[in-house]
Structure 1
């Protein structure tokens, strides 16, 4: 499942995971920068069969039986009746979740079989991988009736090598997709968002040479304005293979040789480099060459670090004007994945004068991080270690570690991503703290250039919050969720609450807010009215004047999203209504409240945050 790891400690850990991996099928691979490689798209209609009783597995409902649906037999097959037929079955669009494509599947959770016929002509001397942007949750993949890989995790990319399985001409692929919730899966049994099942992101065949670039990292060195450090890793390369990196706009071309592990290290200065920032999201075309393999990307160069209770971007203090999101498609709901989805949702962040977004509570499609790079929106990227999971389960930890690795591997060259988040709202216990602590160790080993955070639950003594969750000692930046005025306390009393930071670290108020149904109006005391939601936010902003160590805000949440736990008829109807925009794109009063506040912050760049709050206090 995990391949090409650069650090000895992490590699040893991953070996343990591999020994415990699902038994059949080949291991998945991880290609990077797939969207800049030669691809054959397999998007479009796929035939599907709903299989709640798991009959498609044949005689063994838990393991592949090649006489089951994976065989893709037809009605004229010899050897007995065939009680399924993909070519006569209905279709679902890929990418896409099954829940919102068919009304009868809205609440379905379980096993679904997908099948697609395609024509392909392999090229001599090339390896071919079947790339999935994401499948929720477990995917068992078969090509021409043969198992090619198994993957678990509903939000990360994986690749199955199919070089020896493909035929010259007609081929077919079958994928068994199972989104059943279990205690050892990550996320676990209960969430506050919809469990969208299916092949939810793009699928393609990707061609690479026998020796190919499978990973690279090019980062601006901390404390420097133009020194770039990093590496390029080449699969199949012998020691001494020459690798080149060029940045044409900076007139830079450098070469290095691979070591025994296929890794070529780079360190060079680039005169005239403009650092990436939200105000100037400068991206550079970068080309890497190793033998016959050439890979191109667009990369921004910037540094991010912590100094005391401040977050520094390119050495300068930064206040994060952000918002939380869910990967929910605007206007039609369902799992968001497309470039249009990314531009719409992140466009709303820009419209409210935001420079930061928390991509809660799982990794998003790469369209989102690439769009954030181009738009100049900083990103908090999270893995779905969510609420209460089995902290003692090796399988749960293996799943969390794998998803963390896959998330970092794909996005560690995105300038917009400044925070890796390990978890959200996990109850305090020794087992939980150690579980997440081990994730922070893995994250720092894989990417020492970014900051580590988690969102934890705020606990109050009276009207005082002391940020002393033991997990905080392992984080660079503290994330605290609080819902004063909605789940506790009164709205008018919000400014009376005080905050203490014994750890002396930057704080991002990672969730706060309340619900409102778009178009419902009343006075400021009427819950679920737009006026109530807006008033609550105004009072929250007043409270923040008292928090000198506050480094950023991500109120909950940009847009309403489906949730199975929000059932109140007439108000929620299976939607979490805390969005500032409805699922149909209607902006609530809260949107303009946040927009006005962030606009005031943005228009006074010469003031630090404390000075701004003080001036606002005088106005009031």
Structure 2
């Protein structure tokens, strides 16, 4: 068979000139020493791509033969695992090589001395994947017994789920490489742990050499080219320390958050985000290909989004690589636990710290997340100081490791110490949706209802006791509504325009990019096909410029009832988040009638209402705006019924 996932798995810490991919068919046993099956690595054993499809299997064994390339003799041979859920024990030729606990972070073992004289060996991996996942970081993987959020959890992804590989390195080697832009965006700050001397090269730009490495150095870049959504330029960095060489890359960009605004490179940036949970129909947590990782980002861009919130999962580093290369902003957050115990909190804090250490060089990441909706905190942050302390510690773990990006401490509810104040609100009544959104954004009243079960609605609050978010950047962290695709499209249009109505709101995260198993709330289907959203085009809803229609709609297909025989007035506002003013024209068409009105929209603002007088005619009212050159920059529609 062809090697699955053949691409080098760690583009931000690259030794790809010499490596051996160990993906492919391995022997597989559900009980020790009973290797009667094969499994395709790196696909989780629950999912079809693995060839096994074993459910609720708490322990399994993997086995295969290793052979070190002949030209690696005299160097150290390192065995790497991208991620294994959850506890891995690794032997080579019967000797213990490494144990690792935690299902989302990479680990390695120097196996040089465990191979035989010919450089070969038998590799055996035992994986323990508890069915009861409530006390370990596991995100949206279903647990047995169930998490409190079981209704939105999915088939687990157990075992080896990222690439396994070998690579050589010298005895003295680079163990850490962090790349960050300077504050002035005129160079790259390089931090590495390794031997001296050190040579740093930015190909075609600069070279610096050090006989005695100071630990951190700055490489100036003349005429710097910044990284942005529109121009995602990255600089490759080649570092040689002693006899070891590693390649990395980063981009020059700065994130700022103040005055109610999130800015990238000094430009106010309205977050048009989407939730992405990182599941695939036949591979669970593991994408079928590198192209599939790239395609998800392209689909998000095609739907009008400029940011992806990767939801409670540390994604394959190749996905972040493509976000960097394609210019997609990322909100990154660690996988959640399900219960509040000292051990669960410690495990969550370990993976949180590991997230920043692994992914901090990626320019696409502009927001770090900690907890989500008090998951792993028994949904009781406001009433328990110990849980407030846990939220505060998670925030500070991230903030201390990386002060250059804003941190969300507890996304959605009960903020304790945070840089961004976000709130999750779901409501399928358009009237109450608009009213509560207005109140949350524009008043100090941060209470809102949350449906936690079919018959259970709890009142949640944005702030935990003692927290004041008045001067913080505020945005919506999750929203969406509707049971059918047509209803989803209808709510997408009307709910999003309400979020765009309020200048104080810094953006939103729509739930979600694609369906997953029983959760059919995506813009796309689970296999990433487009949906019929009742004529709603997501890229129009999430455009840089949108039209806000000042009516309270009734239901899909019947937005507004028109009186018989009389004209009607429909107020329309323009929400414009371009860098330059929009001087253009608003157009409308209804049946045989049509008309225009001038548009004068300031950047990052909402215009006053433009009142359109229309005939009292049933049908679909089409509205669109053009710029001075006649290009269409915004579209929407209203269904009129008699």
Q: TM-score range by the shorter chain?
A: 0.7 to 0.9
Among 162, 165, 173, the residue aligned to 1:212: 173
| Match of residue 491 from structure 1 | 430
Contact 1:115–1:175 (8 Å) recurs in 2 = yes
| Match of residue 570 from structure 1 | none
1:164 paired to 2:113: yes
1:450 paired to 2:397: no
The equivalences for 1:235-250 within 5 A come to 237=195, 241-250=196-205
1:43 paired to 2:35: no
1:126 paired to 2:55: no
| Match of residue 352 from structure 2 | 404
| Match of residue 113 from structure 1 | 61
For residues 9-55 of structure 1, the C-alpha deviation after alignment (integer angstroms, 9 at most, x for no partner) is: xxxxxxxxxxxxxxxxxxxxx9961464521111000111124xxxx
CA shift, 1:326, in A, is: 1.5
SS in 2 for 1:288: strand
CA shift, 1:558, in A, is: 0.4
| Match of residue 354 from structure 1 | 305
Q: How far, CA to CA, are the matches of 2:491 and 2:163 in structure 1?
A: 40
1:199 paired to 2:199: no
1:507 paired to 2:474: yes
Structure 2 stretches of 5 or more lacking a match? 1-9, 445-468, 546-575, 583-600, 613-642
SS in 2 for 1:175: strand
Among 372, 392, 411, the residue aligned to 1:424: 372
1:230 paired to 2:222: no
How has the CA–CA distance of structure 1 residues 336 and 187 changed in structure 2, closer, same or farther, with 3 Å as cutoff?
A: closer
SS in 2 for 1:434: helix
CA shift, 1:544, in A, is: 1.1
CA shift, 1:484, in A, is: 1.6
CA shift, 1:610, in A, is: 8.4
Contact 1:496–1:543 (8 Å) recurs in 2 = no
CA shift, 1:493, in A, is: 3.2
How has the CA–CA distance of structure 1 residues 267 and 121 changed in structure 2, closer, same or farther, with 3 Å as cutoff?
A: closer
SS in 2 for 1:599: coil
CA RMSD in angstroms comes to: 2.7
Q: How far, CA to CA, are the matches of 1:600 and 1:470 in structure 2?
A: 29
1:95 paired to 2:42: yes
| Match of residue 101 from structure 2 | 152
| Match of residue 7 from structure 1 | none
How has the CA–CA distance of structure 1 residues 106 and 345 changed in structure 2, closer, same or farther, with 3 Å as cutoff?
A: farther
Indicate the structure whose relative CO is greater, using CA pairs within 8 Å and at least 6 residues apart.
1
Question: Mean Cα displacement is larger for which, 606-615 or 474-483?
Answer: 606-615
CA shift, 1:596, in A, is: 0.9
SS in 1 for 2:539: helix
Q: How far, CA to CA, are the matches of 1:193 and 1:433 in structure 2?
A: 28
Among 209, 228, 247, the residue aligned to 1:296: 247
Q: How far, CA to CA, are the matches of 2:217 and 2:52 in structure 1?
A: 54
| Match of residue 209 from structure 2 | 255
Among 560, 565, 580, the residue aligned to 1:606: 580
Structure 1 stretches of 5 or more lacking a match? 1-29, 57-68, 70-83, 459-468, 515-526, 563-574
Q: How far, CA to CA, are the matches of 1:286 and 1:314 in structure 2?
A: 21
1:550 paired to 2:501: no
| Match of residue 124 from structure 2 | 174
- Superposition TM-score, scaled by structure 1 size: 0.76
CA shift, 1:457, in A, is: 3.5
How has the CA–CA distance of structure 1 residues 531 and 610 changed in structure 2, closer, same or farther, with 3 Å as cutoff?
A: farther
Contact 1:421–1:453 (8 Å) recurs in 2 = yes
Q: How far, CA to CA, are the matches of 1:158 and 1:585 in structure 2?
A: 32
Q: How far, CA to CA, are the matches of 1:112 and 1:317 in structure 2?
A: 50
Q: How far, CA to CA, are the matches of 1:325 and 1:613 in structure 2?
A: 28
SS in 2 for 1:335: coil
- Superposition TM-score, scaled by structure 2 size: 0.73
How has the CA–CA distance of structure 1 residues 588 and 166 changed in structure 2, closer, same or farther, with 3 Å as cutoff?
A: same
How has the CA–CA distance of structure 1 residues 610 and 110 changed in structure 2, closer, same or farther, with 3 Å as cutoff?
A: farther
The equivalences for 1:379-398 within 5 A come to 379-386=330-337, 388-390=338-340, 392-393=341-342, 395-398=343-346
Q: How far, CA to CA, are the matches of 1:406 and 1:592 in structure 2?
A: 40
Q: How far, CA to CA, are the matches of 1:551 and 1:599 in structure 2?
A: 15
Contact 2:83–2:107 (8 Å) recurs in 1 = yes
Q: How far, CA to CA, are the matches of 1:437 and 1:136 in structure 2?
A: 27
SS in 1 for 2:510: coil
| Match of residue 527 from structure 2 | 584
Among 406, 414, 417, the residue aligned to 2:362: 414
CA shift, 1:258, in A, is: 5.1
CA shift, 1:586, in A, is: 2.5
SS in 2 for 1:535: helix
How has the CA–CA distance of structure 1 residues 308 and 35 changed in structure 2, closer, same or farther, with 3 Å as cutoff?
A: farther
Q: How far, CA to CA, are the matches of 1:270 and 1:610 in structure 2?
A: 35
The equivalences for 1:33-72 within 5 A come to 33-34=13-14, 36=16, 38-51=18-31, 56=32, 69=33
CA shift, 1:212, in A, is: 1.2
Question: Mean Cα displacement is larger for which, 274-283 or 309-318?
Answer: 309-318
CA shift, 1:280, in A, is: 0.3
Q: How far, CA to CA, are the matches of 1:183 and 1:443 in structure 2?
A: 23
SS in 2 for 1:548: coil
Q: How many residues align?
A: 504
| Match of residue 235 from structure 2 | 284
Q: How far, CA to CA, are the matches of 1:248 and 1:368 in structure 2?
A: 24
Looking at CA atoms only, which structure, 1 or 2, has the larger radius of gyration? Answer: 2
| Match of residue 9 from structure 1 | none
CA shift, 1:599, in A, is: 2.4
